[in-house]
Amino acid sequence: MKAQSSKFKVQGKLQAPGSNSSVRRSRALLGALLLFLPLSFELCPLSFGAGAAPRPNLVLFLSDDHGVDFVGCYGNKSVHTPNMDALAKDGLRFTRAFAGSPTCSPSRAIIFTGLHSARNGTMGNHTDCRPDIQSLPTYLKALGYRVVAANKTDVRPASVFGWEVLPATLPKNPNINRRYRPEGLDTAKVDTFLASHTKERADEPLCLLLGDNAPHVVWEPNRDYDPAALPIPPNMVDTPKTRAALANYYQDITTADRHLGEVMASLKRHGFEKNTVLLYTSDQGPEWPHCKWTCYDTGLRVPFIVRWPGVVKAGATTGAMISFADLTPLFVDLAGGKPIASLDGRSFKDVLLGKASKHDEFIYASHTGDGEMNVFPQRCVRDERWKFILNLKPENKWTTHFTKVMDIPGSHGDVYATWLDKAKSDAATAKFIETIERHPKWELHDTEADPYELNNLAAQPAQAARVSAMKTSLQEWLTRQQDKEALEAMK
């Protein structure tokens, strides 16, 4: 087991091998030092006196680009997600959970800092957070947690995110074109890790952050699905290549589900099932047009399921609205820490406990481009029903990798070209393409009547008061965020 421990990296450096006792002494010394550091947040570890319940382990399984429309327990009758469905049966399913950005790195930076993009610094994909901010591992380690991240985290720099890194990436499958992503989370490595933690460090509560790469593009070849039988949602154009690619997406979702099931089995095998909060969610919606890289619900709304045996009511559903900015505050709360006033989010533990049915009145999100494939930045505010969007560069035509990358057979531009081709002879398709490629500065959407946000109501006189109120709400949030780029565009 010593060899296993020596593989873990601490703050980007390989942890030096050593005896268990020396490692424990080092940790005790680190804990003592932390007590005397000038921290910018308040800590209040739970008492471990007689009768105090042990603090729960916190396990986050974060898949990549899994939209809420593509989960069995969220109503999709075609997709096979038996493990997510089983988790929902044993836990609480959120119907209004929202990413703070529709792109990988910014979304994850919000999850792991409790700060929105303009404040944590990761506005663009694959950019650094500000070096002077705190993050989830900092808070939890000071509360006595062991914090370990496996496979995809997609946030940086390492100095901000001081978790142990568990190498757990599956080797490349030569039969699958995995451009833009590794193969996925190696759950066998997670199993080995859980066994070693139980054996060597069972006295430490664990926060385990598992990042899978499924179902991010490029999707694996379909094996289990009949493309002709799949429902085509209103934000897609029904062509044979769309159906073939959608079946590939479904196949990759089923792989993510299998990985989750393997982790659930490992948690049970190693005694983590009872006193562990297990969360399943994804960083944003799928790489279909009008989804990821946009602030529509198809880009931001995600599956979110929490299991906590004996605490969270099994088989329950909540419409309480939550944002990814609320996740770090929740984890700190569950770990016994006090609220951190400087964060953008708030803990929703009362929703988990069944004491509250509402949480955020508004959620907000930011999206910027990469200057090449994605050139259509947006900001939005949403309440439980209405979405208001600011398009920062309405003069641009909306594009993504999916519309522009032409050399991946069966995916991306190879599929989108069939949409454009159909638009030449089909007026409804032509109107749809115009709707998703061209947007005015302001958009207002009724997400109940129009869940795919294809009917912009911002210019309707009957909505003038709502537009004015939501514009004010967005302006106030952007001011709090000091989001200069968006505030300039608001003028």
Contact residues: Ca ion, CB under 5 A = 64-65, 104, 283
Q: Is residue 394 within 8 Å of 353, Cβ to Cβ? A: no
**What is the nearest approach in angstroms of Ca ion to the Cβ of residue 213?**
9
Q: Which is nearer to Ca ion, 154 or 360 (CB)?
A: 154
**What is the nearest approach in angstroms of Ca ion to the Cβ of residue 374?**
13
Q: Which is nearer to Ca ion, 41 or 180 (CB)?
A: 180
Q: Which residue's CB atom is positioned nearest to Ca ion? A: 104
CA distance 124 to 106: 7
CA distance 362 to 262: 36
Q: Which is nearer to Ca ion, 153 or 429 (CB)?
A: 153
Q: Which is nearer to Ca ion, 106 or 337 (CB)?
A: 106
**What is the nearest approach in angstroms of Ca ion to the Cβ of residue 283?**
4
Q: Which is nearer to Ca ion, 292 or 439 (CB)?
A: 292
Q: Is residue 349 within 8 Å of 327, Cβ to Cβ? A: no
Q: Is residue 300 within 8 Å of 88, Cβ to Cβ? A: no
- Across the strands, what pairs with 9? 14, 165
**What is the nearest approach in angstroms of Ca ion to the Cβ of residue 107?**
7
**What is the nearest approach in angstroms of Ca ion to the Cβ of residue 116?**
17
Whose structure tokens read 């790489």? 287
Q: Alpha-carbon dihedral of residues 445, 357, 94, 117, nearest 10 degrees? A: 60
**What is the nearest approach in angstroms of Ca ion to the Cβ of residue 154?**
8
Q: Which is nearer to Ca ion, 64 or 212 (CB)?
A: 64
Q: What is the DSSP letter of 185?
A: B
**What is the nearest approach in angstroms of Ca ion to the Cβ of residue 125?**
9
**What is the nearest approach in angstroms of Ca ion to the Cβ of residue 64?**
4
CA distance 236 to 143: 47
Q: Which is nearer to Ca ion, 156 or 201 (CB)?
A: 156
List, in order, residues 6 or more apart from 263 with CB less than 8 Å away: 59, 61, 187, 190, 210
Residue 104: which of 120, 119, 118, 124 has the closest Cα?
124
Q: Which is nearer to Ca ion, 62 or 343 (CB)?
A: 62
Q: Which is nearer to Ca ion, 64 or 344 (CB)?
A: 64
Q: Give the pair of three-digit tokens for residue 341.
A: 């006033």
Q: Is residue 253 within 8 Å of 81, Cβ to Cβ? A: yes
**What is the nearest approach in angstroms of Ca ion to the Cβ of residue 6?**
31
Beta pairing, strands 92-98 & 304-307: antiparallel
Whose structure tokens read 């398709």? 429
Q: Is residue 147 within 8 Å of 141, Cβ to Cβ? A: yes
Q: Is residue 284 within 8 Å of 302, Cβ to Cβ? A: yes
Sign of CA dihedral 268, 270, 271, 276: negative
Q: Give the pair of three-digit tokens for residue 85.
A: 């469905």
